[in-house]
Amino acid sequence: MAVKAKTGSTAVKKTVKPAAPKPAAEKKKPAAKKSAVKKPQTKAAVKKAEKKPEKSAALDPVFLTEYDRYLFGKGRDYKVYQKMGAHPAVLDGKKGWHFAVWAPHAKAVSIVCDRNDWNPEANYMIPLEKSGVFEGFIEGMEEGEAYKYAITTKKGDILYKADPYAFHAELRPANASKTADICGYTWDDQKWMKERSEKNTFEQPMAIYEVHLGSWKKYDKDDKDSFMSYTDLAHELAEYCNWMGYTHVELMGIAEYPFDGSWGYQVTGYYAPTSRYGTPKEFMYMVDYLHTKGIGVILDWVPAHFPKDAHGLANFDGEATYEYADPRMGEHPDWGTKCFDYSKHEVLNFMIGNALYWYDEYHIDGLRVDAVASMLYLDYGRKDGEWVPNKYGGNGNLDAIEFFKHLNSVIRGRKDGAIIIAEESTAWPKITTRPEEDGLGFTYKWNMGWMHDFLDYMKLDPYFRKDNHNKMTFGMSYATSEKFILVLSHDEVVHLKCSMINKMPGYEVDKFANLKCGYFFMFGHAGKKLLFMGQDFAQYHEWDENVELDWWLCDQPLNRGVLLFVKDLLHIYRTHPAMYELDDSWEGFEWVNADDRDRSIFSFIRRDRSKKKSLLFVVNMTPMERSDYMVGVPAKGSYKLLLDEYGAVDPKGVKQAVYKAEKGECDKKDYHISYPLPPYGIAMFEFNG
């Protein structure tokens, strides 16, 4: 589910922290100024707030031009963040910072900060005609200073709000925005970006390592707030991912959020990389460094909803601004959050501009869009009478549909290899079809149906697996209907769902054997791949955002066996196009025997475009030895064993590495090979054909 309830590896060496921009010193504002709502002290103050300032050079709208405001009002300013928010500027020859905020229902807006002692009457902003935008300038303002907007509502209340377009924020529990200049970073990833634009993503390997930075590793594992910096994380992540063989990292919770337990899925600062790990430019360094080491970067992105925190977007100017006014559309009953109003051009511009901001300013390679189903269905999580049908009487959110088509058309139009992924848990059609063909236009879709069937099967005692054989074969019946990513994400190892290893049946040694069988089947199946951190070395306990992974387990024999098995699997995956090149085509997959339910054995073939380096997969999902096992093969010739239940097979080792096909019908094929299949046996063969 999209929204989360409140609730020292031997393979990784410590690296020296690179030179990088240092975070500005935190500035503390007086406690008395932190309240979310404040009444003006006098009627004179209210009149002053409503009074249009005298015209002067400093008050002319010289930063947001009439054309800027026109584009913003039409939802077509894809660089909106370059004018909205806070930016260093020069006015009348004087240096300072320019501020712009959209607050269409406000009587008045002012900038409050340390420089004016958080006084809402000190720095009023100018309303720009017919746009709902307020603009201001503070002379002498410098980078790293905390600020908010003091918004006078129609009722005369004053709301203290963080800047929706801020590039940086205070470290929680403080919640003010901070001035930050994101210009001037020198990128070293030109080679990566050029090659990315030239590749067809669908024909490339994609093995994603999903990571929560705050709990992957800590400086002090006993201190939940001992967050590593973006710069240190960059080095250690790159080293680990390359050693293991992952192609991408997917980062949870990068946009600023106030509550650790939300994991970053209840965002208050959509344009601000969280200050938990450093500054915006330090995050740029992280992406840049990963790129130079050959690792792609995907961010989780949450355009579905936002929290009700007083300093955030909810009732931003005293009324429904970013959310729908009707609570039947504007609030999500399950999560206690607000839903974006996709019918407003300014909101669309905020969201589309935000997506493009991460691609353009931080060079990220993809966005994984959280909770897509909750956006598409008006009745998602709602009972009868709690939702409003669309104009055709249906339950589809027409505004959200158009939002996705618009956004994804823009991303596809970039033609630079950028991708966008949908976490969509229903059978909504054409998720990855082009908008021109009435699709939503995503690059990939998380295969949630496969994940549920796979886990249901793997949790079963092997005795009962024969009666649920179809759970493992059904996924191939629709594998070409979308461009899929097979996922075993963080959602599957929290809230009493058990860790991956503890989902497995049997005694301890059986659990580890089962887990290897599951990973083997997953990597052989059509679709790109995603594993959540800790799953690759069979961490025992459920994931906890406050606790570092149990890296010490990598030295334990059974855990290290899984780690090295997954490592071998990943490296074979990356070097054998048959495992990824034709993921969305029936030319790339063939069942050898999908019906061996009584023995719970699965066998299938994966092929690349050349059909010269094909792979045969065999997996025994029971603890029963099959010493007389034979599997049908398409032609005579040699079948080279690449991997078994212990990992990659050394041709010089004791085990026979090459098997000759024998004449004789098996699995409706004219040839077969004999392979003694041990309990929970695994075999991957390479052959020509």
- State the catalytic residues: 370, 423
Q: Are 214 and 225 in contact (CB under 8 A)?
A: no
End-to-end CA distance of the chain: 42
The neighbour count for residue 385, using CB atoms within 10 Å, is 7
The number of helices, as runs of H, and strands, as runs of E, in the chain is: 16, 33
Coil/strand/helix, residue 413: helix
- Is residue 662 within 8 Å of 672, Cβ to Cβ? yes
The bridge status of strand 255-256 relative to strand 177-178 is: unpaired
Percent of residues in the chain assigned helix, strand, coil, to nearest 5: 30, 25, 45
Tokens matching residue 619? 């997996």
- Strand pairing partners for 136? 99
List the beta bridge partners of residue 90: 95
| Nearest-angstrom CA–CA distance, 207 and 222 | 31
Amino acid 630 reads M
Yes or no: say if 306 and 321 are a contact pair by the CB < 8 Å rule: no
Q: From the CB of residue 590, how many other CB atoms can be counted at a distance below 10 Å? A: 16
Which residue in 443, 100, 81 sits closest to 255, CA to CA?
81
How far from 17 is each of 25, 35, 168, 617, 638, CA to CA, in Å?
19, 38, 22, 43, 50
Please state, in angstroms and rounded to a whole number, the distance separating the CA atoms of residues 63 and 79. 14
Other Cβ atoms within 10 Å of 347 Cβ, number:
22
Distance of CA 173 to the CA centre of its chain: 24
Q: Where are the beta strands (DSSP E) in 103-145?
A: 108-113, 126-128, 133-139
Q: Exposed, middle or buried, 335 (CB in 10 Å: 0-12/13-18/19+)?
A: buried
Q: Long-range contacts of range 355-362, CB-CB < 8 Å, 24 or more positions apart? A: 355/301, 355/303, 355/407, 355/411, 355/420, 356/78, 356/79, 356/410, 356/411, 357/81, 357/271, 358/299, 358/301, 359/411, 359/414, 359/418, 360/79, 361/182, 361/284, 362/273, 362/283, 362/284, 362/287
Half-sphere exposure of 488 (CA within 13 A, CB side): 28
- Can you name the residues that pair with 632 across neighbouring β-strands? 672
Q: What is the Cα–Cα distance from 689 to 481, expressed in whole angstroms?
A: 26
Q: Is the peptide bond before 634 cis (omega within 30 degrees of 0)?
A: no
What is the C-alpha separation between 617 and 615, in angstroms, rounded? Answer: 7
